[in-house]
């Protein structure tokens, strides 16, 4: 009677083994099962050892139209069965850009890129068996989605702006979006269904708004704090009316003209139509402070005449109110010092 001997599982079988716990997510009406990046790293470390695999990001970037970060990663592994023959797998990963609900600005692009790199690692690891069985389940789930699911994904969609029916779009690099994908991206990024023309226009408006937030020296103010408790002070949630915003934008534009008359400007062009109410208010305050400091600066320069040090920079241009006030303080110190020296000289004589 022969006894059955247990065969030692191969490295691939150990890598491809099912996880004790997996997670689910609902995307586009389809329930997907997935594992985490931590689980993938743990599987690679446990089966191969930390020294026997390597992951590197070859390229990364941001797809403005899809509103997502992407990373091109390469996983290199050394199987114990063939330690002299490294196996390399390369895959792209992506992650949607997480945005602030109040301003729409990206919250942490670095974190989103990290998520894209993790997605790339998971897809590379899948090519050597890690979590590959989950992909089989996704395919089955998509195939058995039913007639209702098919209609949801493939039915006609119309643009909320022009009422034109959406059509599949092919890009210069050969990639393409189906009608369902274009509609989903529009809903996710702009909260409405858009044709490609209006989708790109909405992307450009959002890009300009984000650029203004990054470049304008007055960002949304953090909540005020109670001096005694250091706790945020709750403010009354009063939504601004269109008239309020219109009036602020008018005041902002008047401030820009007044700055221009004084030879002042911001370091980058600023479009009031892309700014929030708080940014408009802070910008108006900043412009007023600059103009007031500039008036004081001009008066001091005029009063000192040709006694200003040659190395002193008289150009104000795009300097903020604080920088102009520093120049004012310097000139005031110089003027006071010279007056004191003049008075002392007069006393001696």
For residue 306, pLDDT beyond 50: yes
> Sign (positive/negative) of CA torsion 40, 42, 43, 49?
positive
How does DSSP assign 224-289, residue by residue?
A: PB-TTT-PBPP----PPPHHHHHHHHHHHHHHHHHHHHTT---SS---GGGS-HHHHHHHHHHHHH
Lowest mean pLDDT among 16-20, 74-78, 223-227, 283-287: 223-227
Residues 6 or more apart whose Cβ sits within 8 Å of residue 342: none
Give the pLDDT of residue 220.
43
Q: Which phi and psi angles does 61 have, rounded to 5°?
A: -175, -170
Residue percentage of the chain with pLDDT more than 90: 21
For residue 93, pLDDT beyond 70: yes
Give the pLDDT of residue 100.
74
Q: Using 50, 70 and 90 to split pLDDT, how confident is the model at 8?
A: confident
CA angle 12, 16, 18 (to 5 degrees): 150
Give the pLDDT of residue 240.
56
Give the pLDDT of residue 43.
95
- Average pLDDT of the residues of the chain: 76
pLDDT digits (tens, 9 = 90+) for 208-226: 665 554 444 444 444 444 4
Tell me the C-alpha distance between 73 and 60, whole Å. 9
pLDDT digits (tens, 9 = 90+) for 188-211: 777 788 888 888 888 777 666 655
Instruction: Count CB neighbours of 70 within 10 A.
Output: 20
Q: Using 50, 70 and 90 to split pLDDT, how confident is the model at 142?
A: very low
Tell me the C-alpha distance between 215 and 203, whole Å. 18
For residue 331, pLDDT beyond 70: yes
Q: Are strands 169-170 and 87-96 parallel, antiparallel or unpaired?
A: unpaired
Give the pLDDT of residue 345.
76
Residues 6 or more apart whose Cβ sits within 8 Å of residue 283: 216, 218, 252, 255, 270, 272, 275
Q: What is the largest CA-CA distance in the chain?
A: 128
Give the pLDDT of residue 71.
93
Lowest mean pLDDT among 82-86, 133-137, 141-145: 141-145
Give the C-alpha distances (Å, rounded to integers) separating 66 from 49, 74, 97: 37, 23, 9
CA angle 83, 87, 89 (to 5 degrees): 160
Q: Using 50, 70 and 90 to split pLDDT, how confident is the model at 26?
A: low
pLDDT digits (tens, 9 = 90+) for 49-87: 999 999 999 999 988 878 889 999 999 999 999 889 999
pLDDT digits (tens, 9 = 90+) for 154-185: 568 888 888 888 888 887 656 677 888 888 88
Give the C-alpha distances (Å, rounded to integers) separating 188 from 31, 129, 145, 199: 18, 32, 22, 11
Give the pLDDT of residue 257.
81
12-145 domain in CATH 3.40.50.300?
no
- With tokens 């114990």, the residue in question is 80
Residues forming beta bridges with residue 31, ordered by sequence position:
26
| Angle in degrees, 0-180, between the axes of helices 277-304 and 321-348, rounded to the nearest 10 | 20
Residues forming beta bridges with residue 296, ordered by sequence position:
none
For residue 269, pLDDT beyond 90: no
The domains of the chain are located at 12-145, 162-215, 242-348
């Amino acid at each position: 009677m022969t006894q059955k001997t247990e065969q030692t599982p191969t490295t691939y079988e150990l890598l491809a083994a099912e996880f004790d716990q997996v997670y689910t997510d609902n995307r586009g009406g389809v329930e997907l099962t997935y594992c985490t990046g931590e689980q993938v790293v743990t599987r690679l470390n446990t089966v191969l050892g930390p020294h026997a695999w390597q992951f590197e990001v070859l390229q990364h970037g941001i797809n403005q139209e899809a509103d997502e970060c992407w990373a091109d990663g390469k996983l290199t592994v050394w199987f114990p069965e063939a330690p002299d023959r490294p196996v390399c797998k390369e895959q792209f990963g992506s992650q949607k850009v997480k945005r602030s609900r109040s301003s729409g600005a990206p919250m942490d692009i670095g974190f989103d890129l990290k998520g894209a790199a993790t997605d790339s690692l998971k897809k590379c690891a899948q090519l050597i068996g890690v979590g590959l069985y989950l992909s089989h389940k996704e395919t089955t789930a998509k195939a058995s989605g039913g007639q209702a699911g098919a209609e949801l994904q493939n039915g006609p969609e119309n643009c909320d702006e022009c009422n034109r029916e959406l059509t599949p779009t092919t890009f210069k690099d050969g990639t393409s979006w189906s009608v369902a994908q274009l509609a989903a991206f529009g809903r996710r990024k702009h909260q409405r269904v858009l044709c490609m023309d209006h989708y790109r226009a909405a992307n450009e408006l959002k890009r300009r708004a984000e650029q203004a937030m990054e470049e304008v020296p007055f960002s949304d103010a953090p909540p005020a704090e109670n001096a005694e408790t250091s706790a945020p002070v709750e403010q009354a949630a009063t939504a601004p009316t269109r008239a309020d915003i219109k009036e602020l934008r008018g005041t902002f534009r008047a401030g820009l003209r007044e700055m221009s008359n004084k030879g002042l400007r911001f370091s980058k062009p600023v479009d009031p139509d892309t700014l929030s109410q708080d940014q408009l208010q802070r910008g108006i305050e900043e412009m007023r402070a600059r103009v007031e400091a500039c008036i004081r600066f001009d008066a001091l320069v005029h009063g000192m005449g040709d006694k200003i040090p040659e190395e002193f920079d008289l150009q104000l241009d795009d300097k903020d109110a604080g920088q102009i006030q520093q120049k004012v303080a310097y000139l005031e110190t110089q003027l006071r010092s010279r007056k004191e020296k003049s008075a002392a000289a007069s006393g001696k004589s």
